[in-house]
A and B are shown apart, each in its own frame.
Chain A
Amino acid sequence: MLELHDVSKIVSGRTHIGNVSLRLEPGSLNVLLGPTLAGKTTLMRLMAGLDQPTSGAVAMNGKDQAGVPVQKRSVAMVYQQFINYPSMTVYENIASPLRVAGADRATVDRKVRAAAELLRLTPYLDRLPLELSGGQQQRTALARAVVKEARLVLLDEPLANLDYKLREEMRAELPRVFAESGAIFVYATTEPAEALLLGGNTATLSEGRVTQFGPTIEVFRNPVELVTAKTFSDPPLNTIELVKRGSRFVLEGTPGIPVPARLAGIPDAPYTIGFRAHHLSLEDKGAGVPIEARVVVTEVTGSESFVHVDYAGRRWVMLEEGIHRFELGEMLRLFIDTRHLLVFDAAGTSVFAVRMAA
Chain B
Amino acid sequence: MARIELRKLRHAYAARPASEADYALRRVDHTFEDGGAYALLGPSGCGKTTLLNIISGLIRPSDGAILFDGVDVTDLPTEARNIAQVFQFPVVYDTMSVYDNLAFPLRNRGVPAEMVDRRVREVVAMLGLEERAARRAQGLTSDEKQKISLGRGLVRADVNAILFDEPLTVIDPHLKWALRSQLKEMHRRLGHTMVYVTHDQTEALTFADTVVVMYEGEIVQIGTPEELFERPRHTFVGYFIGSPGMNLLPTVVEGTMARLGSQAIGLPGRLKNPPAGRLELGIRPEFVRLGREGMPVKIDKVEDVGPKKIIRASLEGQSIVVVVDEDLEVPAEPRVTFDPAHLNLYADSWRVELEAWP
Contacts and interface: CB of A to CB of B under 8 A. Distances in A.
Q: Do A and B bind each other?
A: yes
For chain B, the bracket of interface size reads 35 or more
B205 A301 contact: yes
A133 B172 contact: no
Interface string B121-143: 00000000000000000000011
Contact of A297 (B184, B229, B284): B184
B177 to A, nearest CB: 6
Interface string A21-45: 0000000000000011000000000
A163 B286 contact: no
Contacts of B201: 164, 301
Contact of A301 (B184, B199, B225, B245): B225
For chain A, the bracket of interface size reads 35 or more
A184 interface: no
Contacts of A306: 206
B318 interface: no
B158 interface: no
B144 interface: no
B307 A299 contact: no
Contact of B242 (A197, A276, A303): A303
Contacts of B54: none
B216 interface: no
A123 interface: no
A191 B185 contact: no
A303 B284 contact: yes
B205 A278 contact: no
B199 A302 contact: no
B303 A199 contact: yes
B44 A134 contact: yes
Contact of A163 (B44, B181, B184): B44
A196 B206 contact: no
A196 B241 CA distance: 20
A165 B306 contact: no
Contact of A133 (B45, B143, B228): B45
B79 interface: no
Contacts of A140: none
A192 B241 CA distance: 20
Interface in A312-358: 317, 319, 321, 323, 328
A164 B200 CA distance: 5
Contacts of B225: 300-302, 323
A297 B172 contact: no
Contacts of A163: 43-44, 199
B239 interface: yes
A317 B177 contact: yes
Contacts of B177: 234-236, 317
B202 A302 contact: no
A321 B286 contact: yes
B244 A168 contact: yes
A236 B305 contact: no
A166 interface: yes
A165 B43 CA distance: 8
A296 interface: yes
Contacts of A296: 181
B328 to A, nearest CB: 12
B246 to A, nearest CB: 11
A196 B305 contact: yes
A323 B173 CA distance: 23
Contacts of A317: 177
A354 B114 CA distance: 58
A208 B240 CA distance: 37
Interface of B: 43-45, 142-143, 172-174, 177, 180-181, 184-185, 188, 199-202, 205-206, 225-226, 228-230, 239-245, 284, 286, 303-307, 326-327
16 contacts: A36-B143, A36-B172, A164-B200, A192-B173, A193-B305, A234-B174, A276-B307, A278-B307, A299-B184, A300-B205, A301-B225, A302-B229, A302-B241, A302-B242, A303-B242, A308-B181
Give 6 closest A-B pairs by Cβ, nearest first: A302-B229, A299-B206, A302-B225, A301-B205, A278-B307, A196-B305
Interface of A: 35-36, 133-134, 163-166, 168, 190-193, 196-197, 199, 217, 220-221, 234-236, 276, 278, 285, 296-297, 299-303, 306, 308, 317, 319, 321, 323, 328
Given A164-B201, A299-B181, A299-B205, 9 more contacts: A133-B44, A164-B243, A196-B305, A236-B174, A301-B202, A302-B225, A303-B284, A306-B206, A319-B307
